[in-house]
Amino acid sequence: MRATGALIGASVIGVALTAGVNLTAHAQDADWEPPMTPWGEPDLQGMWPLNHLIGVGLQRNPDFGDRLFMTDEEFAAEQESVRARDERFLSGTIPVADAAGRALRQTSLIVDPPDGQFPPLTEYGEQLQANMRSSYRPGQTVFDGIADFSAWDRCITRGMPVSMLPRNYNNGIEIVQSPGFVVLLIEMAHEARIIPTDGREPLDPAIRQWLGEPRGRWDGNTLVVETTNYNGRVGKTSRGVPGSPGPLQPSTPNMRTVERFTRVSDEQIDYELVVEDPEVLATGSFTIRYPMFLDNDYVAYEYSCHEGNTAVRNYIETSRFERAQQAGENAQ
């Protein structure tokens, strides 16, 4: 685990927090034109960490109702909350989390359904959820083998859409491009999402992957990424994402995601993610939206989680020991 990518002093934090962002009301210079790569595509390259989203829950506090943005009074309170959090976490000898650096007026990352809540599950979705296993599952005490752990426990992947959501540390996302490809290097769990933009055909539907099979295209200045061929073995949320619903939320191999990256200034990309999985989502889909801000001073560190990590073995050994102890007590 890395402590923080950008150690922001209290004075810098205070300045940044005054610049609240309204995603739908970005003030764009009428003469501004997006930078272009040497081969003529919109240039999205740079470091776009998500630490500024730490204070924005995936789900909305019900007190906000259908309001996506805070009032001035609510936003002032949010600014103070984020400032205090940043100062608290960065004031120790060893910083323990990323600094958010700024507050957002957004009341949730989910913008559809309009109430900002994760959709209810279908009956089939509830059946899948009941069989999900993870160290993050509340009340789970039996760990006997790999099947009792999630892909995240095993350091394989956080999957989608979780890989594009914030956590309280390791929030780096770097975008690099070459002719025919866009690559997203994701700090948390050392992901590399390789997105072809050369018009190639999708893979055969029988070929399923942890992060699915993405295909990108340019719609004007917007990169549109459609991903299918998921393996359905990774949940749609993680308890590490602020404001996530619990317990774990299932996915299916038929899940489809559509992302849009639109650079609206030298410093900002507007990001949208639509997740479709009608077999498990009662509403069929949900939509996430947020701004990304350029920060090339952010330093991404190696995330040294690996599938053979000792935590998995420790869970199994401890679980077996505790159950043997309980069995012995019951036999007396």
225 touches 274 (CB < 8 A):
no
The strands making up 191-196's β-sheet, listed across from edge to edge, are: 46-47, 173-178, 181-186, 191-196
Full 3-state SS string of 228-292: ECECCCCCCCCCCCCCCCCCCCCCCCCCEEEEEEEECCCCEEEEEEEEECCCCECCCEEEEEEEE
Decide: helix, strand or coil at residue 89: helix
Query: In this predicted structure, what is the pLDDT of residue 36?
Result: 97
Query: What tokens does 301 get?
Result: 């560190």
CA distance 145 to 316: 7
Kindly state the helix (H) or strand (E) to which residue 74 belongs, with its residue range.
helix 72-90
Question: Has this prediction a pTM greater than 0.85?
Answer: yes
Query: In this predicted structure, what is the pLDDT of residue 93?
Result: 78
- For residue range 271-305, list pLDDT tens digits in order: 999 999 999 999 999 999 999 999 999 999 888 88
Chain Cα centroid distance, residue 297: 21
**Residue appearing with tokens 């913008």:** 111
Ordered mean pLDDT values, 10 residues apiece, the chain (332 residues): 40 40 54 94 97 95 97 96 90 80 96 97 97 92 94 93 93 97 94 96 94 97 98 92 91 98 97 98 98 96 84 94 89 74
Query: In this predicted structure, what is the pLDDT of residue 231?
Result: 97
Query: In this predicted structure, what is the pLDDT of residue 19?
Result: 42
